[in-house]
Amino acid sequence: MGLKSKVFPNSYRDSVLLMKMAGMVRKIEGVENAEVIIATEANKGILEFNGLLTEEIRRATPNDLVVSVIAGDETVIEKAIAAVENMIFNGLEDDKGGKVTYSAKSIAGALAMEPEADLAILSVPGPLVKKDAMKLLDSGVNLLIFSDNVPIEDELELKRKADEKGLMVMGPDCGTAIVRGASLAFANKVRQGKIGMVCASGTGLQGVAVLIHNLGQGISHALGTGSNDVKDAIGGISMKRGLKWLEQDGSTELIVVVSKPPQKATMENLKEEFKKCRKPVIVNFLGSSQPVKRDGNVYYTDTLEETALKALELAGETVDDSVAVPEDILADIRRERELHRHKGGYMRALYTGGTLGTEAAIICRDILSGLTTNLTVPGVEKMADYNVSTKNCILDLGADEFTLGKPHPMIEPEMKNQRLLKEAADPETAVILLDFVLGYGVNADPAGNTLYEIDKAREIAESQGRHITFVASVTGTDEDPQNREEQIRVLKDHGVLVLPSNAQAVRAAVEIVKECR
């Protein structure tokens, strides 16, 4: 087995594009493993962990792009490296089939090209973010910082400066936002409407926004803050700025806040800010049970589904019939319950969206015995070994322990598919619960790229005289590039029970697996 690398000096590219390049290279026949990445020290560690680090890459700088390939044939390696070189210098196709091109070579050049711009997306190595971000803030530009690994002291300094200027920093590690109808980074295509959002959770933002869209309303703006924002070290600076913006925005009539629980001092401070707002505020601190469901103009909810429904209610929408589970799906659930009655087995939930997994754990924690997860959810036990599922288990496959040196499963489902087959081979597995997240920046066909594994899993179970039920939700809209309706259709064609929301999918899986006991 051969290993070869190549360094492209001063050839920085966006991390999303690099993940796409790496995914394309890994699909070349004969390639055992490959990575296309920026040569930061952290990334060199990832390459070393995966057996892809060479002396050539050790000498590379954080401004350099590197490719490393393992294959059994020297010709295959050369082909893979040539493919990367072609993508770097000639571009690769974007989601619409056009070429991704690069124009401005500096912040000053970009501002000269777009002097009216008031929002920039910044995706550079974390330690280098501060320098470029300061230039943009000095020019009066709001920021969405996609980069992670930004020192928290840099984040605090940037957010304080932005706040002083009346600007907002979304992020660092902000992967989702919708501004003036434009979907940014990993976001869905939703109609514009009167519900504003400010969120410290990307998939939480997506989960609520698509439910609102699918039930007939729309989003004015959905602003991300990055997960560190609600820690006491930052104090919710961006969340408070986003709240003020949406309060002043004429197109926004009510505001939704979604976040994993803020730290104590920040939570209390944010609660006071919510009460001061002149518009209704629906708050979901996911996983944190609030003793009071309403405090003046502030409404507290427990799940993403409840959050969306409360927003629609306050927006004057009637949604009771829209959220009812269709009768044909209810019949399918009853049939699957009978197939599992008293036969033993457990639920294995494989999530690509961490916040969706958290919602699932909240719903299941008081119902299913022996529930474990790799997420941090009050009242749910942490897994002893993330590689081994026991009894009822909820996995966030996008967590660091699974994505080290690998693309996120929303982008490349290979790792999720491998885990699916592993769970199917476990005699204790009765129900497999899946999520499929659509939108920009993610896999072009999430459902289609898992159908083979779903069919194979059934074959594995049947060869052991067992039956597996697949239950799923599709987080997206019919306006997304992947088209939600089409994704649901292909899943149903392969015998998957697809529910209208993640919460409903979880409840269906629970109803089925309870009959196993």
Which pLDDT tens digit goes with each residue over 439-455? 998 999 999 999 999 99
Average pLDDT, the chain: 91
Q: By percentage, how much of the chain surpasses pLDDT 90?
A: 73
pLDDT reading at 326 higher than 60: yes
Cα distance between residue 378 and residue 262, in whole Å: 14
390 burial (CB, 10 Å; 0-12 / 13-18 / 19+) is middle
Mean pLDDT, residues 20-35: 89
Convert the pLDDT of each residue in 437-493 to its tens digit. 999 989 999 999 999 999 999 999 999 999 999 999 999 999 999 999 999 999 999
Cα torsion for 229, 233, 237, 242, to the nearest 10°? 10
pLDDT reading at 365 higher than 70: yes
Mean pLDDT, residues 270-280: 97
97 burial (CB, 10 Å; 0-12 / 13-18 / 19+) is exposed
DSSP H helices in 117-168: 129-138, 152-164
- Which phi and psi (to 5°) does residue 255 adopt? -125, 135
- The tokens describing 342, both together, are 């008293």
Q: By percentage, how much of the chain surpasses pLDDT 70?
A: 96
Nearest to 465 by CA among 422, 512, 427, 495: 427
Convert the pLDDT of each residue in 158-204 to its tens digit. 999 999 999 999 999 998 999 999 999 999 999 999 999 999 999 99
